Structure 1
Amino acid sequence: MTRTKAVIIGSGNIGTDLMMKMIKYQQNMELVAVVGIDPESDGLKQARERGIATTHEGIEGLQKLECYPELGIAFDATSAYAHKLHDQVLRAAGIQVVDLTPAAIGPFTVPTVNMTANLDAPNVNMVTCGGQATIPMVAAVRRVASRLPYAEIIASVASRSAGPGTRANIDEFTRTTANAIEKVGGAEQGKAIIILNPAEPPMIMRDTIFTLSEGADEDAIRASVEEMVAAVQKYVPGYRLKQEIQFERYGDNNKLTIPGRGEFTGMKTMIMLEVEGAGDYLPSYSGNLDIMTAAAKATGELLAERRMAAAAS
């Protein structure tokens, strides 16, 4: 069966790492073009060396490429601002979009949580690196609890692995991640914090997730979290628990007061993760970027499989 032709827009670190994954681990997609705006970027250089079509003229240059009419999927690894125009152009051409920016035009998508719900969407959004790492844990707690009044995530990444695109999107990162914690993770209220750690040597990505839940015991939460970790590891092998899950129970005799939300009784859970990158292009400490590209590829593979099945029927 003919594989779905795909393009990567953005030849920076994220786009280039995604390119390497698509070349090394081919499944349902064929990468036929890489788009950038800097003709000297390493991403475009790497693509040219592998015989992949390239342009440094952005979305306009993509439209001029011979392969453009054959494209089925486009990965956008640029910026939230640029993605708005890209989405309009690509949708008009019938090209399904996987958005790696915080633009959040399409539905939030986390492969292990809600991928099957968005297979027909013209644009799917990969939330953020912090969202891809932590939302599966929030969802793991939510699926065994009767309520999840609150979830908070803290994503700590190496300063070296946060390029200009990441830094320019910090505000969008916190808003988008918090929103997705609620919409995808199932929390009634979500909060996200990102820390750029300048430590040398660079540390790998570490995430802390706090949840306040009702109606679930420790064993159920622990089992659900471990099952979810195993699911994420299928496309991000370096995703793992840093230590044992911590629990604290609040009862009628020691209620937790939440500013603006009143008193809480139930279970407080703390989950600590680390994400080590696969080293396909970026250093292994760049787990924050690796989980985005790995999740985007996993999403693209499912979209391509769906498109090929529809074409065959």
Structure 2
Amino acid sequence: MKKFKVAILGTGNIGTDLLIKVQRSQYLECVAFVGRNTNSSGMAKAREMGITCSDKSIEFIKQNHKNIDLVFDATSAKDHLLHAPVFKDLGIIAIDLTPAKVGVMSVPAANLSDCLAADNINMITCGGQASIPLAYAIGQSQKNVEYIETVSIIASKSAGPATRRNLDEYIQTTEKGLIEFSGAKASKAIINLNPAIPCINMQTTVYAKVSNPNMDSLNTSVSEIVEKIKKYVPGYELIVPPLYENGRISIMVKVRGLGDYLPEYAGNLDIINCAAIAMAEEYAKNGLEV
């Protein structure tokens, strides 16, 4: 099978971890690792792996687009708003790891094949990748979901500068995804950066207000979606199965990373990278082009 040629735009920790995951893929080949700082640790790692590197950012993509099928954009929401029309004009598929809300929202366990007609895919947020599958399971198994809420607790050390700059966009995009995938009338997203040492693993809880819930159907739906997620995020673990008390449903999961480049406790970053890889591989498997 011919491999998809991909470029990674953004050479921070997320981009570097993504690079290692791409290198392991039988469907993807990284042809460029692109950022703004040639002295970054990510660039150094990429050069050790023999990957073409550039500090020309989006200009490199413009100049070399004929050799690129797909770009992972791991920059920032503000930057992706500028990059998206460039990718479209160049005929390059874009997988956006920022909360820019430009493209079609993707949660591979829920709508992988439905996204293949789009040329810009938004991976929502790290908290969204952990919580929205559960929201989707609630929406698929329950009628009239009135309200849904997610609370994600992550290690403070796993929230880098880009994550902190995009907190407002994180909240807005996660809340939009919760409604889109669950059908709820309203939503709320909360993120807690925990400074504890040793660093904690990511934990995400989803709460839902549903009248007369069908718990048997919900348990089946949650079990099925968790198994789907574990195929591309092995560290995704259901730690509190669906409960109904005080008029609300609650479900809790824990996410532990693979430890490719980022520490294992950074499951919040690992899950969005794993989801992005799953989406890119699906394009490659189907041999799709823009």
| Class of the TM-score when normalised by the shorter of the 2 chains | over 0.9
Q: Sequence identity of aligned pairs in percent? A: 42
**Aligned match of 1:141:** 138
Which amino acid counterpart does residue 43 of structure 1 have in structure 2?
A: G
1:16 corresponds to: 16
Residue of structure 1 in register with 2:267 after alignment: 287
The match for 1:104 is 101
Runs of at least 5 residues in structure 2 that lack an aligned partner in the other structure: none
Superposition deviation, residue 118 in structure 1: 1.5
Give per-residue Cα distances to partners, 1:67-95, cap 9 Å, x unaligned.
x3121111000000111121121111100
Query: How far apart are residue 213 of structure 1 and its match?
Result: 2.2
RMSD (CA atoms): 1.5
Can you list the C-alpha shifts for 1:203-236, whole angstroms capped at 9, x where unaligned? Answer: 0100110012245422211121111111100011
Q: Which residue of 2 aligns with 1:265?
A: none
Q: Cα distance 1:161–1:294, how it changes in 2: closer, same or farther (>3 A)?
A: same
Superimposed CA distance per residue, residues 21-71 of structure 1 (whole angstroms, 9 cap, x where no aligned partner): 1112x1222111110111111111111111111101211133334xx3121
CA distance in 1, matches of 2:288, 2:161: 39
Query: For residue 33 of structure 1, what is the aligned residue in structure 2?
Result: 32
Residue 278 of structure 1 is matched in structure 2 by 258
* Contact 1:178/1:192 (<8 A) preserved: yes
Contact 1:142–1:213, Cα closer than 8 Å, also in 2: no
State the distance in 2 between where 1:310 and 1:52 align. 23
Contact 1:34 1:55 in 2 (8 A): yes
SS of 2:23's equivalent in the other structure is helix
Give the aligned partner of residue 207 of structure 2: 210
| Contact 1:144–1:224 (CA under 8 A) maintained in structure 2 | yes
After superposition, the C-alpha distances for 1:75-125 in whole angstroms (9 at most, x for unaligned) are 000000111121121111100000000101011111011122210111010
The number of aligned residues is 290
Runs of 5+ unmatched residues, structure 1? 251-267
**Contact 1:108–1:184 under 8 Å retained in 2:** no
The 8 Å contact of residues 141 and 213 in structure 1, kept in 2 or not, is answered as no
Per the alignment, residue 248 of structure 1 pairs with 245
Deviating 4+ runs (over 2 angstroms): 61-65, 213-216
CA distance in 2, matches of 1:244, 1:99: 31
